[in-house]
Chain A
């Protein structure tokens, strides 16, 4: 062969398929932030106007000023056997305990269910059965079994946070691309290394999604359970206030719950950005 003369070869990074880097940062969320703030301000303004011009009786719609007054009163003097902080902490303690149980049981069991046919076959039956039931339907049973104290409520909440976390961990294991596993095996990964370096991180985005669902499920079950059977907590405070038509206290309770829910959602978003910035990237 008589071919082109010797020439040193170097391989500069090709630019033909280069994506703009770094990728655009969540521009959608920053661009809607202003709109959302204006909407929130408009809703509060509407509330002011409606109360000011007496569109509804103060019994049904207390004015923002009344709610604010009541807020500081409940904060300082308390309502229904406790201050606002007591009720909030009681509720938070329950949900924290339930999330703890859900995470520490749900993630390992879900991972095992994703990895092993036997574990999946055995545990999916009871979980599927109870997860289909509305939690409040079996709360009376839990109260009969465990009494009216904290145990029955924490078990109820744990059941509602456990299932979504467990399902998510299981789905996470199953979502690992087969090629990624083959690649690790051909690089000489042991079974344990395969699990810790490939399967677990690959399942993390699904687990985070499950955690978000669990927080939502936990929060709604929590308040509902406290409405029915509790001596403390935000749900209990709201129910006690409603019995005396203290609508302003009901509003205080609702606002605190809304703030908590918002804080959970923001916290999870922050955690996702920290833990899995690569989600959906590859």
Chain B
């Protein structure tokens, strides 16, 4: 269980008005759930992820993972970045195996485990390729496999499909739904796409900027259907999907003054 309690992150600004990137945010992420944070730019969703990853210290509040407070980056939280961060000098297999190598896992064993993960993301035939010979979508699959390789407690995904074309993006959403169904990992997923949030989230938290806050929280289970059917088409025309999409859209586009407290 990942527990975010009263977390705030404040950046000093040159004009003296501090930026409240994250303002008293509390959120629990239960095992076996995908929490998707959605919101406009500057709503603090990436700040939240960076704080959980340990890249960024909190100004106030605490984040605990299974009761242990997070103070630095660590192998118990796998991160998938928007821009892929694969090592160009290592082939795909060695990239996936990197975290296992850091743990001192034997070469044959880490390669075997990495091959299984490459199969899971559909890249079994690309193990020996250098990453720069792969497409953007394929590189993100390697990123997901790499983050899963160390068997982290939670997967943190920072707009991982944001830079992909819309067709590849849909394939990746199906892939993630299937990976989640197979591995049962808890996932925190950041996106600015409402459709993506509804497609993938078991919990969707809507965030608003200045200061960065959670303004609403919805439960959904379209992702189970996507995992089952392997198709994101049908759910997107579901009446409940359309209704939620409209509701979230109006929350995000609400003028800043009109927001009142949290709707939890």
Binding site for B on A (CB under 8 A): 1, 3-19, 21-23, 177, 179-180, 182-190, 193, 197-198, 201, 276-278, 281-282
User: Is B212 on the interface with A (CB-CB < 8 A)?
Assistant: no
Find the residue from B73, B125, B221 having the highest chain A CB count within 10 A.
B73
Q: Sorted from nearest, which 9 A-B pairs have the closest CB atoms? A: A188-B75, A9-B230, A11-B122, A17-B135, A187-B99, A278-B88, A185-B73, A281-B132, A183-B85
* Segment from B11-19, B76-84, B202-210 that makes contact with A: B76-84
Query: What size tier do the contact residues of chain B reach?
Result: 35 or more
Q: Is the CB of B122 within 8 A of A179?
A: no
User: Is B86 on the interface with A (CB-CB < 8 A)?
Assistant: yes
User: Is B231 on the interface with A (CB-CB < 8 A)?
Assistant: yes
B230 is contacted by which of A7, A16, A184 (Cβ under 8 Å)?
A7
Binding site for A on B (CB under 8 A): 53-55, 72-75, 77-79, 81, 83-89, 98-99, 101-103, 121-123, 125-126, 129-138, 141, 146-147, 150, 156, 164-165, 167-168, 171, 174-175, 178, 221-222, 225, 228-231, 233-235, 238, 240
Q: Is the CB of A182 within 8 A of B73?
A: yes
Q: Which A residues lie within 8 Å of B168 (CB)?
A: 14, 16-17
Q: Which A residues lie within 8 Å of B81 (CB)?
A: 179, 182-183
Q: Is the CB of A186 within 8 A of B167?
A: no
CB distance from B239 to the nearest CB of A (A): 10
Q: A5-B229, A15-B135 are in contact. Are A179 and B102 (CB under 8 A)?
A: no
Known A6-B229, A278-B89; further 16 A-B contacts with Cβ < 8 A:
A3-B229, A11-B141, A11-B175, A13-B138, A16-B137, A16-B165, A18-B134, A18-B135, A18-B138, A185-B55, A187-B99, A187-B146, A197-B87, A281-B132, A282-B86, A282-B131
Q: Is the CB of A187 within 8 A of B98?
A: yes
A-B contact list, 8 entries, CB within 8 Å = A15-B135, A18-B138, A19-B133, A19-B135, A185-B74, A186-B55, A187-B102, A197-B87
Q: Which A residues lie within 8 Å of B99 (CB)?
A: 187-188
Find the residue from A5, A16, A19 having the highest chain B CB count within 10 A.
A16
Q: Which B residues lie within 8 Å of A21 (CB)?
A: 129, 133
Q: A16-B135, A17-B137 are in contact. Are A180 and B89 (CB under 8 A)?
A: no
CB distance from A278 to the nearest CB of B (A): 4
A17: nearest chain-B partner, CB-CB: B135
Q: Which A residues lie within 8 Å of B55 (CB)?
A: 182, 185-186
